[in-house]
Structure 1
Amino acid sequence: MYLNCKTYFSYRYGTIATQELVDMAVARKVRSLALTNINSTADAWDFVDFCRKANIKPILGAEIRNGQKLMYVLLAKNDKGLMHINRFLSEHLMDKRDFPERPGLKDTWTIYPFGSRGPEDLGETELIGVRREELPKLYGRHPGRHPDKWAVLQPVTYQDRTRYNLHRILRAIDGNTLLSKLGPADTAGEGEHFPTKMELWNAFGEYPEMLQNTLRVMESCSVDMELHADKNKKHFTSSKEDDRILLEKLAMEGLAQRYGRDNTLALERVQKELRIIDELDFNAYFLIVLDVVRYAQHRGFFYVGRGSGANSIVAYCLKITDVDPIKLDLYFERFLNPHRSSPPDFDMDFSWQDRDEVIDYIFKRYGRDHVALLGMFSTFQGRAIIRELGKVFGLPKPEIDQLVGRRKDSVPPEDRIQRAILRYGAMMRDFPNYQSIHPGGMLVSERPIFQYTAMERPPKGFNTAQVDMFLAEKIGLFKLDILSQRGLAHIKDAIGLVRQNRGEEIDIRTVERFFNDPKVADQIRRADTIGCFYIESPAMRQLLTKLKCDDYLTLVAASSIIRPGVAQSGMMKQYIERFHDPENIPYLHPKMKELLEETYGVMVYQEDVIKVAHHFAGLDMGEADILRRAMSGKYRSHNRFKLIEEKFFANCRALGHPEHISREVWRQMESFGGYSFSKAHSASFAVESYQSLFLKTYYPLEFMVAVINNFGGFYRTQFYFHELKKAGGKVVPPCVNTGQYLTSVKGNQVTVGFVHVQNLERKTIDRLLAERERNGPYLGLTDFITRTRADAEQLNILIRIGALRFTGMGKKALLWHANFMHKRMEAEPASAAIFTEEPLDFELPDFPNKPLEDAYDEIELIGFTLGDPFELADDDRKGLAYVQELPKLVGRKVCLLGHLVTTKPVRTARGDYMAFGTFLDERGDWLDTVHFPPVLKKYPFHTGGFYRIYGKVVEEFGVYAVEVREMKGVGLRK
């Protein structure tokens, strides 16, 4: 009877969760149920899974609408029918075309709304659906004349009257309108709840043929697809055996390159991994990833392979990753093992400039019918819910802002609207709001992707599945992550700039020599890492200093313990303390010292949990990885976890470990497991950090220009220009004869790119660069105006930023001449003059030039001065200390003048706000400050600028900071 049920995946329409819909069916003793969300099959496989567990027959389909207009309901007779529905949905959603009046799909039922067409016009698998409230309209229609063309169509959209109100709120949000302005066509009918079977039988009792026909339709539909079975591309070559042979051949060739031909340990590891990969049918997966990598290599794209795949020596030999799993003692079982119940994946990072081309290659290489980007669902959350509801209830913005900041119990009982907003907001939390795109996941299927999901096409133009990663996993599709990050673009562009500026080629993949380079080691020891991937933030630079980091393994550890969970749990502090006092570490057991000596007895990595479970408690590697996953928050409720826990203690007893030691080891594993980070991830990050460090050490100008040109990093652009100047670069404003759209470097001169000039239009930049490329440098002001026809406003911007300084004239004279010429050009007659007039020549007075005028022009047009910003600080410099002097002033009160770089607000254990600050002093050194709650409240930060900072110098493990007692803003000189 239930052919038209919707969940909240009918976005901003339905109010029923998928599991709840099935539970409601169980409560009503329903044996067969159809899911037909609006233009979507997003939660189809969850629905199938839940129905099968509840012994309910699932039927899949979709409710097709053009805008608000219901066209028809589609039901899949079988798996082929579902594929046709998904393809039909996809073709129209991706092309943003209206759905046709008749779909004409095979292996499906099409149910039209009552009154849209007559039964005599219907095909063999077309029906007319009748709702309860439409029964009176049947009189005179004689449905008995076409008994097989009518069906009961009871929409199920919401649970009850309260949820009907919630449905109306969702419709108002969707229409971006007031709740009071909704019309009948905008919402579902008032009878679209879930009636009992008896209620439906009684309502349609006069039409038994219709009831029987509805049951016949439901009987004819089925879903046969098995969940959790491998649906990925089966073979890279022509067969599984050919895949195995090819992967083994390529892995052995890579083994010889990476380790030589006599490394027995590496050979045994490769052979073991190849056996497991083959047994678990992952040969094709590895070869597909390798295919993507080789395409990137062919195109000259820089990439980093990471994720749990970096635990694999086969991946290392194939050059998918650059992390040596033997050197770092990484376990393959962290990536792939026979016990693993969820699919592993590779994370492949590309430059943001190259990623789309790599994605396009995968679509073209494996076929658009077999490839999709992975979707995800944005949900209604927190304050955004209050703002949405405030708008549809018609509250003014100030009142909405006030409500957002209020606690629920502080809303006055008499304020019915605000209380309604909070009540319905709580119901809406976690509802899907709209489909979005997973940051990088891609699916490559053996059968057409439409067998499993419909697709949409967001603005980037790539087909995107309606399922998310959890549903893909349930279906049996493994994702491949093709991600982007600006750190790789920094490296790629820096290499290009070095080639262009110095004529040198850099092999950036020879990372072993970077690990052993003394200059790079000194650079990281001094935490001179601004601009370098993952290690430039104030917190990371402090950690590097505290750990005296100058080697790869220490950086790998730092990359892990800096993460929020580890730091907040106290493990980071414990690690640092033990690093400085390694002789007094209280190891629980000699075996624990053997296993964790590298990390001073602290379980820093997820691999540490595996290591202890295997070597201390005797679990096999697969079981140890299950334990690791459970302790990181997954599968904790599963019986399998309980069985492994019991085996852990049984093994410990068999190995003779005292019970209290075993219990404490277990407690520490649970404690650390929830926060730990994959060592393979950290190692991959550290490799990229070293590559950035090498470029910053030997090619600082080119590297920092690359950072600036990719508009990405922890700090604002002006502080990367500061690093340029600190490294010896001469930074000059844009120039119409030598400048480019992006910032450029020649020798040690860095010319700011036109892109940084605010209000300078792209068309003006493109025109002046194209004209210069065609006809050579500009000869003077007149030549520039004549050739580019730049309008007065754009010309004034170029003059004020110094882009026409090649003329030798001052800015004021240039502005006078330029505007005079524009006036003459505007006054020129449309027809050519009979006689050519000589241009007027006149002498201008000497315009006074104040030293600070250029700086203020740069601040207005670029956002910061290209010179020394401290020249603008209106401060007498009396009584100041400097960062270089802090080591001699520990415990003493000091005063410093600082240029604010960034702040990090945090909450204390009591819930109060405090902050950490980062400043530059006048000598260009970086200053860290601590602002406890009372001081922060009394002396808050403003927007950037200069501050006189008064406080006490404190030191912790070689990091010097100022504990602020007082702070005053410093104005700018006039």
Structure 2
Amino acid sequence: TITLAAPEEDYWARLKRELEIINSMGFPGYFLIVADFIKWAKTEDIPVGPGRGSGAGSVVAWVLTITDLDPLRFGLLFERFLNPERVSMPDFDIDFCQDRRDEVIRYVQEKYGRDRVAQIITFGKLQARAVLRDVGRVLNMPFMQVDRICKLVPNNPANPVTLAEALETEPRLKEMRKEEASVAALIEKALRLEGLYRHASTHAAGVVIADRPLQELVPLYRDPRSDMPATQFNMKWVEPAGLVKFDFLGLKTLTVIDRAVRFVAERGVTIDISAIPVDDAATFEMLGEGAAVGVFQLESAGMRSTLRAMKPDTLEDIIALVSLYRPGPMENIPTYIERKQGIQDPDYLHPMLEEVLKETYGVIIYQEQVMQIAQILSGYSLGEADLLRRAMGKKKKEEMDKQRKRFVDGAAENGVDNKKASSIFDLVQKFAGYGFNKSHAAAYAYIAYQTAWLKANYPAELLAASMSLDRANTDKLSVFLKEARRTEVEVRPPHINHSEADFSVKDGAIVYALSAVKNVGEAAMDLIAERRREGGPFTDLMDFAERVDLKSIGKRALEN
């Protein structure tokens, strides 16, 4: 049974309004296709995320089990996802367990036809370092020399530095260009080639589904690493070409949660992770201590420090923290904490806005709050308010002047004087630039809470699952080992008669994985564990040598 967060008639009214918008925009088929492959995944026990992006704001999506969050319980807005006043395609991003995501894509291929389902092409461009390496190779320049030049270009994958910018900011690069003719020739050619497409590959998550064979609609490309065709139009152009895009993403944390739940089941305890209590005292006590190693989105040192200061005690606090812990909004974290702890009084800007801002102690954190402020204070429709939010993000003066007049005039009709309304507009505009999508934050905060709940109640199982997914990463393994010691969880060393190929849990202790030993292959360790299960523990080295094919194991693995 579901506990409703508002009167039942509010749900029916919201459902009716959403259905009218979905039908008028012609998108029922999109919702039903997404609901179908998610329901199939769930019946196949493939872990599916509770939601991602603005889609979690839809009651229709919640009813169809596309998402797991009650939008009315969390104050999520449908118009942030699908705005009737700005026609654009809906876009559900769906997280699946990373190990089984491909099964869902295969199901979609079989259901709609292999000739109607394709991935989407992406084009890799020649960026500063890559173009220097490619040109250097063609010019037969020594590898070490080119490598030295490349390393003078700052490496920032999130915001790549161009070669021209590097020449401006790096004096040594400028000097080498001036002093060495070969370097000058390299840089001159690289500057002309930079930005050109270098290679094609496929988008990590995007898939299109058509109502007829795709070759009738778009040119196709065959990636040699995939048995699935890809559109030759990239992400920007597939929708204008009339195709509908779906995002199938693999999220490692869902796999961690699934493995932890399976470890707990081996104890004889069955957990429905989507139905755990969201007010578990042990979980919030653990988070308040900053003991968040292994907890999704909350495990960085900075996050743990903030948790200790905040002492979260509701899921809403975690949603706020996930949203605030980013460049820009971070400056509001101390204000949020002081107001939460009663050190500072909340400022709701205007009595009419208290209901919208009460949850966040008067701090504007979410894009949805920006929309609700415009709706309540100035009479915007939620569709109009979404357009205002977008305009504030773009900061175009002409559009802002027009919106300010609309906002102030609307507020005046509600008895708010012009000066107060204008100052509220300025404040809202400041926050709108880095406001976070609450639908996405709520869904990811819920996953964070699930991992925290597992850690607080079943620490050995959660840590073993985390180690299993990072067993090739020795740095992460050492962090988890340290955390296990801190939480007094026993970790048994790898043992040929007790360890599995992967990490496991026995009698409340983590049993170290054979495959996590350095320089041994997983397949070889699987073989050892399988032989032990078939014939019982190995009695000595000779017994081991007789029962296991030593050629399959390899000399290096045996020595290790």
TM-score with structure 1 length normalisation?
A: 0.52
Q: Is the 8 A contact 1:338 1:622 kept in 2?
A: yes
CA distance in 1, matches of 2:239, 2:130: 30
Q: Which residue of 2 aligns with 1:684?
A: 443
User: What is the match of residue 496 of structure 1?
Assistant: 262
- 1:755 and 2:501 aligned: no
Q: 2:227 aligns to what?
A: 461
1:475 equivalent in alignment to 2:221: no
Structure-2 change in CA distance of 1:596 and 1:419 (3 Å): farther
Q: Conserved in 1, the CA contact under 8 Å of 2:122 and 2:200?
A: yes
Indicate the residue corresponding to 1:447 in structure 2.
212
Local SS of the residue matching 1:474: coil
**Cα offset, 1:538, TM superposition:** 1.3
Q: Distance in 1 between matches of 2:448 and 2:242?
A: 35
After TM superposition, the structure 1 = structure 2 runs for residues 775-786 of structure 1, keeping only pairs within 5 Å, are 775-786=535-546
Using the alignment, how far apart are the partners of 1:613 and 1:265 within structure 2?
Answer: 21
Alignment CA distance shift 1:357-1:763 (3 Å): closer
1:379 paired to 2:98: no
- Cα contact 1:557–1:604 (8 A) shared by 2: yes
For the residues of structure 2 that align with 1:306 and 1:763, how far apart are their CA atoms?
35
Report if the CA contact (8 A) 1:386-1:422 is conserved.
Answer: yes
Supply the distance in 2 between the matched residues of 1:337 and 1:597 (Cα, whole angstroms).
26
- Equivalents in 2 of 1:504, 1:647: separation in Å? 58
Contact 2:347 / 2:361 at 8 angstroms: preserved in 1? no
CA shift digits 1:932-972 (9 cap, x unpaired)? xxxxxxxxxxxxxxxxxxxxxxxxxxxxxxxxxxxxxxxxx
Secondary structure at 2:75's aligned position in 1? coil
For residue 372 of structure 1, report the CA deviation from its aligned partner: 1.6
Query: Do 2:118 and 2:229's aligned partners in 1 also have CA atoms closer than 8 Å?
Result: yes
CA contact (8 A) 2:500 2:526 kept: no
In the alignment, which residue of structure 2 is the partner of 1:723?
Answer: 483
Equivalent pair of 1:764/1:790 in contact (CA under 8 Å): no
2:502 aligned to which of 742, 745, 760? 742
Tell me how far apart the structure 2 counterparts of residues 309 and 749 of structure 1 sit (CA, whole Å).
40
Q: Structure 1 counterpart of 2:268, which letter?
A: G
Q: What count of residue pairs does the alignment treat as equivalent?
A: 538
Deviation at residue 484 of structure 1 after TM alignment: 0.9
Q: Match for 2:451: what amino acid?
A: S
Q: Deviations over 1:84-142 (max 9, x none)?
A: xxxxxxxxxxxxxxxxxxxxxxxxxxxxxxxxxxxxxxxxxxxxxxxxxxxxxxxxxxx
Q: CA deviation at 1:550?
A: 1.9
Query: Partner residue of 1:560?
Result: 323
- C-alpha deviation, 1:478, in angstroms: 3.5
Q: Secondary structure at the match of 1:584?
A: coil
Change (3 A) 1:674 1:472: farther
* Residue pair 2:521, 2:557 contacting (<8 A) in 1 also: no
Given the superposition, is the C-alpha separation of residues 609 and 434 from structure 1 closer, same or farther in structure 2, using an over 3 Å criterion? farther
1:527 aligned onto 2:290: yes
Cα distance in 2 between the residues matched to 1:792 and 1:292: 40
Name 1:311's counterpart in structure 2.
57
What is the CA-CA distance between 1:775 and the residue it aligns to? 3.0
Distance apart, 1:734 and its partner CA: 2.1
Deviation at 1:654, TM superposition (A): 4.2
Deviation sequence 1:318-344 (CA, Å, 0-9, x none): 222122211111111001121123322
How far 1:490 sits from its partner (Å)? 0.8
Tell me the SS of whatever aligns to 1:549: coil
Q: Deviations over 1:243-273 (max 9, x none)?
A: xxxxxxxxxxxxx856499711111111111
- Please give the alpha-carbon distance, in whole angstroms, between the structure 1 residues aligned to 2:339 and 2:259: 40
More strand by proportion, 1 or 2?
1
Confirm or deny: 8 A CA contact 1:582 1:600 kept in the other structure. no
- In structure 1, the residue matched to 2:183 is 418
Stretches of structure 2 that go unaligned for 5 or more consecutive residues are 154-165
Letter in 1 for 2:454: L
Deviation at 1:729, TM superposition (A): 3.2
Partner of residue 596, structure 1: 357
Deviation at 1:617, TM superposition (A): 2.2
The aligned residue for residue 632 of structure 1 is 393
Contact 1:322 1:687 in 2 (8 A): no
Q: Structure 1 residues 684, 732: CA separation in 2 closer, same or farther (over 3 Å shift)?
A: same
1:286 maps to what in 2? 31
In structure 1, the residue matched to 2:134 is 388
Deviation at 1:665, TM superposition (A): 2.7
CA distance in 1, matches of 2:327, 2:146: 32
Pairs within 5 Å for 1:791-830: 798=558
Q: Distance in 1 between matches of 2:556 and 2:248?
A: 45
Provide, for residues 827-857 of structure 1, a one-character-per-residue CA deviation record: whole Å limited to 9, x for no partner. xxxxxxxxxxxxxxxxxxxxxxxxxxxxxxx
- RMSD over aligned Cα atoms: 2.9
What is the deviation of 1:608? 1.6
CA distance in 1, matches of 2:133, 2:423: 48
Q: Equivalent of 2:429, from 651, 670, 674?
A: 670
Alignment of 1:245-264 (within 5 A): 257=2, 259=4, 263-264=8-9
* SS of residue in 1 equivalent to 2:198: strand
Q: 1:699 maps to what in 2?
A: 458
Distance apart, 1:655 and its partner CA:
4.1
The one-letter code matched in structure 2 to 1:768 is: I
Kept in 1: contact 2:112–2:209 (CA 8 A): yes
Secondary structure of the 2:505 match is strand
Verify: 1:438 aligned to 2:203, yes or no: yes
Instruction: For 1:294, give the aligned amino acid.
Output: K
CA contact (8 A) 2:338 2:344 kept: no
Residues 56 and 439 of structure 2 are in contact (CA less than 8 Å); yes or no, is this contact kept in structure 1? yes
Name the structure with the higher helix share.
2
Q: CA deviation at 1:401?
A: 4.1
Report the 3-state secondary structure (helix = DSSP H, G, I; strand = E; otherwise coil) of the residue aligned with 1:686: helix
Cα deviation code 1:199-229 (max 9, x no counterpart): xxxxxxxxxxxxxxxxxxxxxxxxxxxxxxx
Q: For the residues of structure 1 that align with 2:201 and 2:343, how far apart are their CA atoms?
A: 49
What is the alpha-carbon distance in structure 2 between the residues aligned to residue 262 and residue 581 of structure 1? 31
- The answer to whether the 8 Å contact 2:121/2:233 transfers is yes
In structure 2, the CA distance between the partners of 1:672 and 1:418, relative to structure 1 (3 Å rule), is farther
1:453: how far off? 3.7
Does the aligned pair in 2 maintain the 1:311–1:332 contact within 8 Å? Answer: yes
User: Structure with the greater relative contact order (CA < 8 A, sep ≥ 6): 1 or 2?
Assistant: 2
- Tell me if 1:516 matches 2:279: yes
Identity score, percent: 32
Alpha-carbon distance change, 399 to 692 in structure 1, aligned in 2, over 3 angstroms: same
C-alpha distance after superposition, 1:32-78 (max 9, x if no partner): xxxxxxxxxxxxxxxxxxxxxxxxxxxxxxxxxxxxxxxxxxxxxxx
**Which residue of the partner structure matches residue 112 of structure 2?**
366
Equivalent position to 2:18, from 260, 273, 292: 273
Alignment map for 1:33-112 (pairs within 5 Å): none
Aligned equivalents of 2:340, 2:7: Cα separation in 1: 36
Among 532, 550, 554, the residue aligned to 1:790: 550
Amino acid at match of 1:333: E
In 1, the alpha carbon distance for the partners of 2:88 and 2:75 equals 23
Cα-to-partner distance string for 1:598-625 (whole Å, 9 max, x where unaligned): 2233221111221122222222111111
Q: Does structure 2 conserve the Cα–Cα contact (< 8 Å) formed by 1:442 and 1:481? A: yes
Alpha-carbon distance, 1:790 to partner: 2.8
Alpha-carbon distance, 1:684 to partner: 0.3
Secondary structure, aligned partner of 2:73: coil
Report the alpha carbon displacement of residue 668 of structure 1 after superposing the two structures with TM: 2.7
| Matches of 1:423 and 1:573, distance apart in 2 | 49
Q: Write the mapping of 1:918-933 to structure 2, written as runs, cut at 5 A.
A: none
DSSP-derived class of the 2:274 partner: coil
| Alpha-carbon distance, 1:683 to partner | 0.5
- Does the CA contact (< 8 Å) of 1:533 and 1:692 recur in 2? yes
What is the distance in 1 between the residues matched to 2:32 and 2:241? 22
Give the direction of change, closer, same or farther, for the CA distance of 1:440–1:792 in structure 2 (3 Å limit). closer
Higher Rg:
1
1: distance between equivalents of 2:475 and 2:417?
52
